């Protein structure tokens, strides 16, 4: 009965590109919605390969600046032919909102792949994607919702003040991955009356082996430390390296593996050289998920030293895999790890404190470590399961 | 190849015009009576008053294409043997592909006017010019400057290998500091071929005016936005100063947009009030800023020898620099400035406090010593003849 009801729902999920390696959360969200019988169409600005869901890519502007107006005109005509009433309605709404002609053209162009579709819900995977699309819900008779992510509320508004003023006004519902991000959005003017739902990221715990065979710290040296993160400044890996340098100076025998790649690779490798840590630090690059699970399984300690973090799927996976996790207090990480119960939370940008915490954790009696490991895994199973996420998303769009 | 006629030295720095350092070298060499030929790509129009500077740049677009074609025809008519020799050496001609076409675009002007000495300013370009030595017995000189030597090859093993292969063919090397020589020897450089020649500034008197006393420490930072400039550590240091109620203001002069990383950090550490950012300034304007600040900070992780520090010392502005690259060759801690360990916000903060707490007498002494250091060791009139000596030495070896 519930399934029949859900079939009427058709969610248009708007993203900038097909979800990639670091966006496990988005893929899981769509997959779980499909599993619940919700019809999902993925709209992306850039083309890309997506196999698990119907995918419509938007039109892109040609590089040649002389061809650009020609393409824009063609796309506008095409969109008008496919959905004449909606386009007229969209223009009328935008004009009543005092938008100038270039803004009207831009608004129609960037939503030209969405406008002709019949949707009951339009959901922006990132709030930034809702900019210039604020009126889509009204024009398409669909509920408008957005997820807010770390970049959306913590970084983008620093450059673009009041970027979400119009979006906030037109939202029917908001999804946040952590309470902290919601509070940040409120400080950015999100009206309190907009219903918001917190749905945390989730992991499939079954992919991770049980804790019984988990390597014990002290039984095998060196201490194996791991982080799974893009090599991006906001992940704060440089601060982790500083902390590890302090450990090395104290004579601790360790290896540190960072899985992931990114624009800061040169910087981080340079730091490792300068610190004299080349023997202990490995940048393993981007690895397939099964190998990530294996590497996590073979490690003792997980670090997430982020400067800015929405929630962090990798930390959930680390907990599922029975790793002792030490994370920074950046935004959602404080909700991801319960300090002292499922891991430890330390102030960000502070290598001294991080190093001290690592020393404290490795010195804990094995029984205490096992208590933390088990609580972490249990909490992930109970509170961050795919089933729970699917159920909440189904409710979100009902 | 080398005759008794005026020595012709080609300077290849990829872009025309080049950086301040290299432009000073070009003009200085011309004033010493050498014929200086500039190869590279025009990024801006450039004029020199010295008739012995010959600019043979490549242009972009249609004009560049016509110019390329004309030069190529000229090469075939005037020096067909050179064309055949290089074609056989490379194994491809200009029409073998897009990349090959562009490479020949660089090579043709040089083949047309083979210099006695080809001085490459950036190590990344070293390997592709080896043919000049092998086929045409042109003497090759390479400068060791900045990231090309001390950072990039550490994260890029392909680049490091290309250095090892290329460097053995060079006749001489110029290093901007002794620290840079240590870096370069890792790639198989014969130390006996290296000439350490510091960058030089034109002579000027120490300005008499001391900055007007202020309640807050006025800190100046000048440099592009790049991770190796270490602004992240400086902001962490400022946060420490603020937390102990030290009043300060910081002016950051840099080209380009403030990167998200720094913008976020300023906001995160609540430093937006204290830090102002000026989007690039002319040389004269930077000088004016130097005269109205109390201290210049160089928080870099790596440098050759930072030009901006020399300029500040020449103007009597106190400098707090990290101990990176060759900075210790310029600054003697407490004698002519302050030097602190790299990547250490606490030490940087203490350095800034030390500079601000100097007595009038000590401040005057440090200003005078700083000016003397630059005048004695980093004097353009003294250092340009060292380049000429290096070139003459190669001539006598021929």
A159 to B260: CB separation less than 8 angstroms, yes or no = yes
Q: What angle do CA B245, B250, B253 make, to 5 degrees?
A: 170
Q: Which two tokens stand for residue B159?
A: 């680049």
B232 to A265: CB separation less than 8 angstroms, yes or no = no
pLDDT at B398 (0 to 100): 56
Contacts of A278 in chain B (CB under 8 A): none
Q: What percent of chain A shows pLDDT beyond 90?
A: 70
Kindly state the greatest CA–CA separation across chain B.
74
**CB B321 within 8 Å of CB B223:** no
Contacts of A158 in chain B (CB under 8 A): 260, 263-264, 267
Is the sign of the CA dihedral B226, B232, B235, B237 positive or negative? Answer: negative
Give dist(CA B29, CA B391) in Å, integer.
11
Average pLDDT in the B13-42 region? Answer: 90
* pLDDT surpassing 70 at residue A299: yes
- Pairing of β B172-175 and β B139-144: parallel
**CB B115 within 8 Å of CB B37:** yes
Q: Which of A155, A274, A283 to mutate to test the interface with B (most CBs of B within 10 A)?
A: A274
A266 to B156: CB separation less than 8 angstroms, yes or no = yes
Q: At A314, phi and psi to the nearest 5?
A: -60, -35
pLDDT tens digits, one per residue of A340-363: 999 999 999 999 999 999 999 999
* pLDDT surpassing 90 at residue A8: no
pLDDT tens digits, one per residue of B23-33: 999 999 999 99
Give the 3-state secondary structure of residue A274: helix
pLDDT at A221 (0 to 100): 77
Higher pLDDT, A227 or A394: A227
Give the 3-state secondary structure of residue A254: strand
pLDDT at B211 (0 to 100): 55
Give dist(CA A59, CA A22) in Å, integer.
24
Q: Identify the band that residue B105 occupies on the pLDDT scale cut at 50, 70 and 90.
A: very high
Question: Class of A2-198 per CATH?
Answer: alpha beta
Q: Which two tokens stand for residue B107?
A: 């090579």
B322 at A interface, C-beta within 8 A = no
Q: Which two tokens stand for residue A182?
A: 């919601």
Average pLDDT in the B83-110 region? Answer: 93
Contacts of A308 in chain B (CB under 8 A): 264, 268
- Pairing of β B248-254 and β B275-279: parallel
* pLDDT surpassing 80 at residue B262: yes
**CB A293 within 8 Å of CB A309:** no
B232 to A238: CB separation less than 8 angstroms, yes or no = yes
Give dist(CA B126, CA B170) in Å, integer.
9
Average pLDDT in the B152-170 region? Answer: 91
Of A21, A9, A26, nearest to A124 (Cα)? Answer: A26
Phi-psi group of B88: left, alpha or beta (phi > 0 → left; psi -120 to 50 → alpha; rest → beta): alpha
Query: How many residues are recorded in chain A?
Result: 398
* pLDDT surpassing 80 at residue B242: yes
Q: Identify the band that residue A25 occupies on the pLDDT scale cut at 50, 70 and 90.
A: low
Of B321, B334, B333, nearest to B295 (Cα)? Answer: B321
* pLDDT surpassing 50 at residue A2: no
Contacts of A349 in chain B (CB under 8 A): 236
pLDDT at A3 (0 to 100): 41
Query: How many residues are recorded in chain B?
Result: 398
Q: At B367, phi and psi to the nearest 5?
A: -60, -45
* pLDDT surpassing 90 at residue B234: yes
pLDDT at A392 (0 to 100): 85
Closest alpha carbon within chain B to A350: B236
Question: Class of B217-377 per CATH?
Answer: alpha beta
DSSP B201: B
* pLDDT surpassing 80 at residue A20: no
Is the sign of the CA dihedral A64, A68, A69, A75 positive or negative? Answer: positive
pLDDT at A33 (0 to 100): 77
Average pLDDT in the B152-173 region? Answer: 92
- Pairing of β A173-176 and β B338-340: unpaired
pLDDT at B348 (0 to 100): 97
Q: What percent of chain A shows pLDDT beyond 70?
A: 95
Contacts of B156 in chain A (CB under 8 A): 266
pLDDT at B289 (0 to 100): 92
Name B172's Cβ contacts closer than 8 Å, sequence gap at least 6. B139, B140, B141, B142, B193, B194, B195, B390, B393, B394
Give the 3-state secondary structure of residue A147: strand
**CB B86 within 8 Å of CB B136:** no
Closest partner residue to A158 (CB to CB) among B151, B267, B343 is B267
pLDDT at A393 (0 to 100): 82
Q: Which of A4-13, A25-34, A217-226, B323-332 has the highest mean pLDDT?
A: B323-332
pLDDT at A201 (0 to 100): 87
Closest partner residue to B261 (CB to CB) among A154, A233, A270 is A233
Domain ranges of chain A: 2-198, 205-383
Going across the sheet that includes B35-42, the strands are B53-58, B35-42, B8-16, B117-120, B139-144, B172-175, B194-196
pLDDT at A370 (0 to 100): 92
Average pLDDT in the A328-351 region? Answer: 95
At the fourth CATH level, the homologous superfamily of domain B8-58+116-200+380-397 is: Glycogen Phosphorylase B; (3.40.50.2000)
Average pLDDT in the B386-398 region? Answer: 85
**Mean predicted lDDT score pLDDT of chain B:** 91
Give dist(CA B333, CA B129) in Å, integer.
41
Token pair 């030595």 is at which residue?
Answer: B133
Kindly state the greatest CA–CA separation across chain A.
72
DSSP B87: H
DSSP A154: I
**CB B201 within 8 Å of CB B311:** yes
- Cα distances from A57 to residues A86, A114, A154, A194, B306, in angstroms, run 19, 9, 28, 30, 48
Of B331, B315, B308, nearest to B377 (Cα)? Answer: B331
Closest alpha carbon within chain A to B262: A233
**What count of Cα atoms within 13 Å lies in the side-chain half-sphere of residue A220?**
10
A vs B, Cβ pairs < 8 A, gives 48
A271 to B301: CB separation less than 8 angstroms, yes or no = yes
Cis peptide before B253 (omega within 30 of 0): no
Name B315's Cβ contacts closer than 8 Å, sequence gap at least 6. B206, B207, B287, B290, B291
Closest partner residue to B263 (CB to CB) among A158, A269, A349 is A158
**Mean predicted lDDT score pLDDT of chain A:** 90
pLDDT at B151 (0 to 100): 84
Domain ranges of chain B: 8-58+116-200+380-397, 217-377
Give dist(CA A128, CA B254) in Å, integer.
28
- Cα distances from A79 to residues A142, A167, B231, in angstroms, run 18, 23, 48
Contacts of B265 in chain A (CB under 8 A): 307
Closest CA of chain B from A351, distance in Å: 11
Give dist(CA A168, CA A305) in Å, integer.
31
pLDDT tens digits, one per residue of A260-280: 999 999 999 999 999 999 999
Token pair 């025009």 is at which residue?
Answer: B42
Fold match flag (A2-198 vs A205-383): yes
pLDDT at B213 (0 to 100): 64
* pLDDT surpassing 80 at residue B231: yes
| Displacement of CA B36 from its chain's centroid (Å) | 19
Q: What percent of chain B shows pLDDT beyond 90?
A: 74
pLDDT at A7 (0 to 100): 46
Q: Which of A26-40, A49-63, B2-16, B98-112 has the highest mean pLDDT?
A: B98-112
State the burial class of residue A191 (Cβ atoms within 10 Å of its Cβ: 0-12, 13-18, 19+): exposed
Give the 3-state secondary structure of residue A204: coil
Q: What's the complex ipTM? A: 0.87
Higher pLDDT, A109 or A64: A109
Is the sign of the CA dihedral B110, B112, B118, B119 positive or negative? Answer: negative
* pLDDT surpassing 80 at residue B344: yes
pLDDT at A5 (0 to 100): 46
DSSP B127: G
In chain A, alpha helices (H): 2-7, 24-35, 67-82, 84-96, 101-110, 136-140, 150, 156-159, 165-170, 179-187, 237-249, 265-275, 289-297, 313-320, 333-336, 351-363, 366-383, 386-396
Of A90, A113, A114, A115, nearest to A103 (Cα)? Answer: A90
Q: Identify the band that residue A398 occupies on the pLDDT scale cut at 50, 70 and 90.
A: confident
Average pLDDT in the A181-202 region? Answer: 92
Closest partner residue to A270 (CB to CB) among B154, B236, B267 is B154
* pLDDT surpassing 80 at residue A222: yes
Contacts of A235 in chain B (CB under 8 A): none
Q: Which of B42-51, B148-157, B265-274 has the highest mean pLDDT?
A: B265-274
Instruction: Classify domain A205-383 at the CATH topology level.
Output: Rossmann fold (3.40.50)
Average pLDDT in the B330-343 region? Answer: 96
């Amino acid at each position: 009965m519930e399934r029949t009801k859900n079939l009427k729902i058709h969610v248009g999920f708007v993203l900038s590109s097909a979800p990639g390696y670091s966006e496990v959360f988005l893929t899981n969200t769509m997959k779980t919605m499909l599993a619940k019988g919700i019809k999902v169409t993925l709209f992306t600005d850039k083309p890309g390969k997506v196999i698990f869901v119907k995918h419509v890519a938007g039109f892109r502007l040609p590089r040649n600046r002389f061809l650009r107006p020609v393409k824009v005109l063609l796309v506008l005509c095409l969109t008008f032919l496919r959905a004449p009433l909606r386009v007229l309605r969209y223009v009328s709404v935008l004009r009543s909102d005092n938008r100038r002609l270039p803004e009207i053209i831009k608004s129609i162009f960037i939503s030209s792949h969405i406008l002709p579709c019949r949707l009951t819900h339009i959901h922006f995977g990132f709030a930034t994607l809702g900019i210039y699309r604020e009126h889509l819900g009204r024009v398409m008779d669909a509920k408008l919702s957005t997820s807010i992510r770390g970049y959306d509320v913590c970084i983008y508004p620093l450059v673009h003040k009041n970027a979400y003023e119009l979006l906030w006004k037109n939202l029917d519902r908001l999804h946040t991955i952590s309470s902290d991000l919601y509070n940040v959005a409120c400080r950015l003017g999100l009206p309190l009356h907009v219903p918001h739902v917190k749905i945390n990221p989730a992991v499939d715990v079954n992919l991770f082996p049980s804790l019984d065979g988990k390597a014990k710290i002290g039984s095998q040296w060196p201490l194996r430390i791991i982080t799974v993160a893009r090599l991006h400044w906001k992940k704060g890996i440089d601060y982790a390296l500083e902390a590890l340098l302090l450990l090395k100076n104290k004579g601790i025998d360790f290896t540190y593996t960072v899985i992931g790649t990114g624009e800061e690779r040169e910087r981080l490798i340079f730091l490792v050289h300068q610190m004299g840590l080349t023997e202990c630090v490995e940048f393993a690059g981007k690895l397939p998920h099964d190998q990530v699970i294996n590497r996590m399984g073979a490690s003792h300690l997980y670090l997430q030293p982020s400067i800015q973090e929405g929630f962090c799927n990798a930390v959930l996976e680390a907990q599922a895999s029975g790793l002792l996790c030490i994370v920074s207090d950046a935004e959602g990480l404080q909700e991801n790890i319960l300090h002292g119960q499922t891991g430890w939370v330390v102030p960000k940008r502070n290598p001294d404190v991080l190093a001290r915490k690592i020393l404290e954790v490795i010195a804990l009696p094995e029984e205490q470590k096992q208590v933390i490991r088990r609580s972490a895994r249990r909490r992930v199973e109970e509170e961050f399961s795919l089933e729970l996420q699917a159920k909440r998303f189904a409710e979100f769009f009902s | 190849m080398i005759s008794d006629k005026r020595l012709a030295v080609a300077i290849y720095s990829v872009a025309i015009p080049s950086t301040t350092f290299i432009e000073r070298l070009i003009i200085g060499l011309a004033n010493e009576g050498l014929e200086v030929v500039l190869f590279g790509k025009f990024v801006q129009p450039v004029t020199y008053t010295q008739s012995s500077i010959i600019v043979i740049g490549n242009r972009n677009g249609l004009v560049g294409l016509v110019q390329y074609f004309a030069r190529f025809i000229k090469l075939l008519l005037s020096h067909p043997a050179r064309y055949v020799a290089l074609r056989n050496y490379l194994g491809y001609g200009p029409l073998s592909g897009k990349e090959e076409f562009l490479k020949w675009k660089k090579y043709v002007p040089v083949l047309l006017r083979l210099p006695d000495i080809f001085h490459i300013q950036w190590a990344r370009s070293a390997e592709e010019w080896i043919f000049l030595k092998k086929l045409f017995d042109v003497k090759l000189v390479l400068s060791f400057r900045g990231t090309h030597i001390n950072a990039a090859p550490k994260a890029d093993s392909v680049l490091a290998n290309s250095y090892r292969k290329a460097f053995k063919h060079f006749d001489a090397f110029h290093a901007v500091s002794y620290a840079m020589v240590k870096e370069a020897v890792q790639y198989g450089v014969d130390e006996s071929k290296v000439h350490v020649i510091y960058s030089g500034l034109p002579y000027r008197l120490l300005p008499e005016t001391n900055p007007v006393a202020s309640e807050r420490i006025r800190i100046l930072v000048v440099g592009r936005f790049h991770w190796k400039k270490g602004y992240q550590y400086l902001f962490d240091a400022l946060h420490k100063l603020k937390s102990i109620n030290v009043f300060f203001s910081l002016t950051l002069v840099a080209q380009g947009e403030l990167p998200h990383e720094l913008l976020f950090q300023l906001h995160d550490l609540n430093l937006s009030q204290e830090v102002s950012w000026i989007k690039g300034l002319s040389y004269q304007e930077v000088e004016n800023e130097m005269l109205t600040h109390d201290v210049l900070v160089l928080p870099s992780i790596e440098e050759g020898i930072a030009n901006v520090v020399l300029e500040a010392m020449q103007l009597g502005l106190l400098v707090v620099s990290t101990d990176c690259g060759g900075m210790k060759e310029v600054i003697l801690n407490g004698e002519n400035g302050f030097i602190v360990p790299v990547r250490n916000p606490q030490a940087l903060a203490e350095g800034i406090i030390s500079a601000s707490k100097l007595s009038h007498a000590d401040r005057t002494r440090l200003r005078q010593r700083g000016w003397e250091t630059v005048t004695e060791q980093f004097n353009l009139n003294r250092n340009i003849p060292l380049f000429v000596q290096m070139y003459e030495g190669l001539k006598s070896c021929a």
